[in-house]
Amino acid sequence: NCKTQLLQHTSNTDICKNLVSGSLLVEHGFRLVFEAKKLILSKYGKFLGLGYLEKGLFKMNVMAVSCVTVDNKKPISVYTVECSDLWHNRLGHVNLNAIKRSMKLELIPNSKVDTNTKCEICIEAKMAKLPFHSVERSTEPLGLIHTDVCDMKSVQTRTNKKYFVAFIDDCTRFCYLYLLRSKDEAVEVFKIYKTEVENQLGKRIKIIRSARGGEYVAPFEQICSEYGIIHQTTAPYSPQSNGVAERKNRTLKEMMNAMLINLGLPRNMWGEAVLTKNHILNKIPPKGKEETPYEMWKDRKSSFKYLKVWGCLAKVSVPEPKQMRIGPKTVDCVFIGYAYNSTVYRLLVHKSENQEASVVKLVHSSFTVSEELKRRLTSAPVLTIPDPSRSFTIFSDASRQSLGCVLMQNEQVIVYASRQLKPHEQNYPTHDLELAAVVHALKIWRHYLYGGRCEIFTDHKSLQYIFTQKELNMRQRRWLEIVKDYDCSIQYHPGKANVVADALSRKVK
């Protein structure tokens, strides 16, 4: 701390700050250096203090020892105190509370810490996103509608749908869900939704809140302005502003994924799963509510008696005109959801000419299709235990989607195998794809085949001459070296007789 004497000073009790003239300091031998927003005070080369620009004046932290008026002609002694801003910089932009604690423990000199001033560097370096607090909910149906389009990352349904859009009523939390082929269909779907809900409730949509996606730009804005609907959009990079729709999409995707994993069904069934899950969520009371969205929307109690386990087996009665006199009168189906415009179940029928259902009986509602498939595949006489002393037979096939192969012995299936093609393999010619299916079978069943005899059957006729062909590309030569490690022969098998491997090669996961 530097001690400085100031002569001929005036004391005024009406002024709460001590003021000193820079020009008078210069006349008395002081040196003032102005640097950016900082003032450096010195005399005869000796540093005296620092001042920082604040509200048009340079402020210096000083501590008076004695304050005597100018009439007594006695000097006043002051000590310059290092500013807390200086220590803030010295301590690596630590927070002001840490500086106060250090002063209290006498680790650094005491000075006034102004908590009202903000360090711009700290604001730029430590800026964090503030929490998004919930706002007041709408008090009437259709007062506010939340909407968002969810992309399923190019996983198409059986009807080539890649997106789904949700419309959630803020008051009741009742949700309508639609599957889309492209995002631009969201505008037409909104027209359908608007017409239906306004007709059902006898009210008008007042506000709709969405993200800033391209599907909610010009055509959507035009519809809103035409019908007097206020269109609220989220701030850029702030999907939390539309948290109701974002959370609904997350819940639907998580539960849909759990349903597919539980059943072992292909990914293209996600559309049926997400529609079923939305139907169920509308009948479950949300957090903090004693009524379900269905009750608040329809004004009547919801029933759970008709709900079944998604994916369970169903016995479907064949209509009488199509029934056979001898044989079963039902068809095995898979329960995939609830019909929106009817009071019937939606069922998936496999390998049957009878697609019309009159009476449905759901059996084993907790017994999933995957469990039934496992039971049938692992029960005799489908699978058998291999005998290492006997030869094996492989049936292989390839398509533009995947590779399929079957390992057999004595006309009994030992194991099935299939895998999807990798992106670069989709450009392979047919000859290479068929050879890839053979190599794939030899690799995964090496523990069965190595050291024994096996026959490989393929529906690609030219592949049986692979051992004698002279002109082979590098890929074929590499694969041929793998094939030569085994005591095997490749024979032609007509495609119409190679049905199992052909079906496995066309399976889409």
Contacts of residue 5, Cβ cutoff 8 Å, sequence gap at least 6: 75, 76, 77
| Local structure of residue 156 (DSSP, 8 states) | -
Alpha carbons 349 and 332: distance in angstroms, whole number: 7
Residue 178: per-residue pLDDT: 94
What does 165-190 look like in DSSP terms, one character per residue?
EEEEETTT--EEEEEESSGGGHHHHH
Query: Tens digit of pLDDT for each residue in 153-195?
Result: 878 888 889 999 999 999 999 999 999 999 889 999 999 999 9
Summarised one tens digit per residue, pLDDT across range 255-301 is 998 888 887 778 888 999 999 999 999 998 888 778 899 999 988 88
Share above pLDDT 90 across residues of the chain, in percent, rounded to a whole number:
27
Give the mean pLDDT of 111-122.
72
pLDDT of 64 reads 44
Nearest to 66 by CA among 110, 11, 19, 24: 11
Tokens of 405: 């192969």
The predicted pLDDT at position 443 comes to 92
- For the residues 108-115, what does the mean pLDDT come to? 72
Return mean pLDDT, the chain.
80
Mean pLDDT comparison of 115-129, 301-315, 431-445, 459-473, highest-scoring range: 431-445
The 3-state DSSP composition of the chain as helix, strand, coil percent (nearest 5) reads 35, 25, 40
pLDDT at 66: 42
Of the two residues 316 and 183, the one the predictor is more confident about is 183
Tell me the pLDDT tens digit for each residue of 40-80.
888 887 777 777 787 788 877 654 444 444 445 444 444 44
Buried/exposed 387-415: b ≥16 CB within 10 Å, e otherwise: eeeeebbbbbbbbeebbbbbbbbeeebbb
Cα separation, 217 vs 167, in Å, equals: 17
> Tell me, what's the pLDDT at 11?
61
pLDDT tens-digit series, residues 14-39? 666 677 788 888 888 888 888 877 88
Which strands, in side-by-side order, build the sheet including 62-66?
3-6, 76-80, 62-66
Q: What is the pLDDT of residue 401?
A: 86
Structural domains of the chain sorted by starting position, each given as residue range(s) with its CATH number in brackets: 3-126 (no CATH), 144-298 (3.30.420.10), 313-375 (no CATH), 380-505 (3.30.420.10)
CA distance 480 to 49: 86
Which has the minimum average pLDDT: 140-154, 381-395, 426-440, 462-476?
A: 381-395
pLDDT for residue 263? 76
pLDDT at 67: 42
How sure is the predictor about 389, in pLDDT bands with cuts at 50, 70 and 90? confident
Tell me if the pTM is above 0.85.
no
